[in-house]
Amino acid sequence: MGLFQNFPKTDTQVPAYKEYVAPSTRPRLFLCMLREHFWNLIPLNLLQLAFYLPAVVWTVFNGIRFYAYFFRAQPMSDAGVLALLQSYCLGLVPCLLLADMSAGGSALITRNWARDQRAEVWADFWHGIAANWSKSLRFSAITAALPLIYYGYLSFIVLNPAHFDVSGVPLLFTGIATLLWLGMKHVCALIMVTYRLSWKDVLRNGFLLAMRQLPRSLGLFLLRMLPLGVGITILLFFSAKGAAFYLLFYYCTIGFALDWLLKSSHANWLCEEYMNIHIDGASSRIGLRPKE
């Protein structure tokens, strides 16, 4: 507890802005909340890192193995490559299950911050996980199944190269489904911590909201990939050490938490715009200045 108390904190007991001087647009609201809670992103990121660390370590470890095998004097056979991929994908399943279990806590905190409401990092993070762990586990199971699906496709292609043209069709649909899932995951997480709905209703509403604004959802996904793109650019045009240092510094300080704040700001807008208008007494401009 003492570690998290040492970070600079804003007064989260009251909104940062009075109603009559609150931001009038959602981009301004996001920037204002980012400024107000920037230092609070660091302890939240440390909590998230504890859940993401196994997946990161396992991926780096296997990346080193792949590098060592592919650049040795005698290249590996297709069976050897598939064996490495199989061990990586199987080991990644529990890592992804653990990583997405933090979605309830991360969504609860950043939802409140994104609409200028009270949130305490330590208490609300664990409360969000405890209150939504069963639904989070089901969502994380979907994410964890994706590597196995792609491994099955790749092994089929390697073992049956004559069927490549036919198998390209399911790959296309699987890729589209993966992009849709990655674009709606954060919407489902915010619905999960905001409304009292069953898991099926959370999934259905998350899909409908993401599809309602599909271009923006995909644009948000590309924006979230920007830090990773910067790291890849440094790797290709400068040095591997520079890319590793940049990515390590960014994701160990604010990367994961900033990503969640961006996702929750987008999901807040979708929920308030298309769900709250159908709920009596629910506001569609939380944290924003009232329309004149």
Find the range with the poorest average confidence among 65-79, 81-95, 244-258: 65-79
Nearest CA among 223, 263, 274 for reference residue 109: 263
pTM for this prediction: 0.81
CA dihedral 33, 11, 260, 121 (to 10 degrees): 180
Helix (H, G, I), strand (E, B) or coil at 8: coil
DSSP letter string, 243-279: HHHHHHHHIIIIIHHHHHHHHHHHHHHHHHHHTGGGS
* Alpha-carbon span 203 to 109, nearest angstrom: 21
Residue 209: is its pLDDT beyond 70?
Answer: yes
Asked if residues 15 and 117 have their Cβ atoms less than 8 Å apart, the reply is yes
Q: Which residue bears the tokens 């390209």? A: 168
Residue 165: is its pLDDT beyond 70?
Answer: no
- Say how many C-beta atoms besides its own lie within 10 A of residue 214's C-beta: 13
* Alpha-carbon span 143 to 289, nearest angstrom: 37
- Report pLDDT digits (tens) over 12-57: 445 555 444 666 677 888 888 888 888 889 999 999 998 988 988 8
CA distances from 243 to 4, 42, 66, 110 (A): 29, 21, 19, 28
Q: Which residue bears the tokens 């989260």? A: 12
Task: Quote the mean pLDDT of the chain.
Answer: 80
Residue 59: is its pLDDT beyond 70?
Answer: yes
* Alpha-carbon span 135 to 165, nearest angstrom: 38
Residue 132: is its pLDDT beyond 80?
Answer: yes
Nearest CA among 231, 203, 214, 229 for reference residue 143: 203
* Alpha-carbon span 53 to 143, nearest angstrom: 16
User: pLDDT band at 75, cuts 50/70/90?
Assistant: low
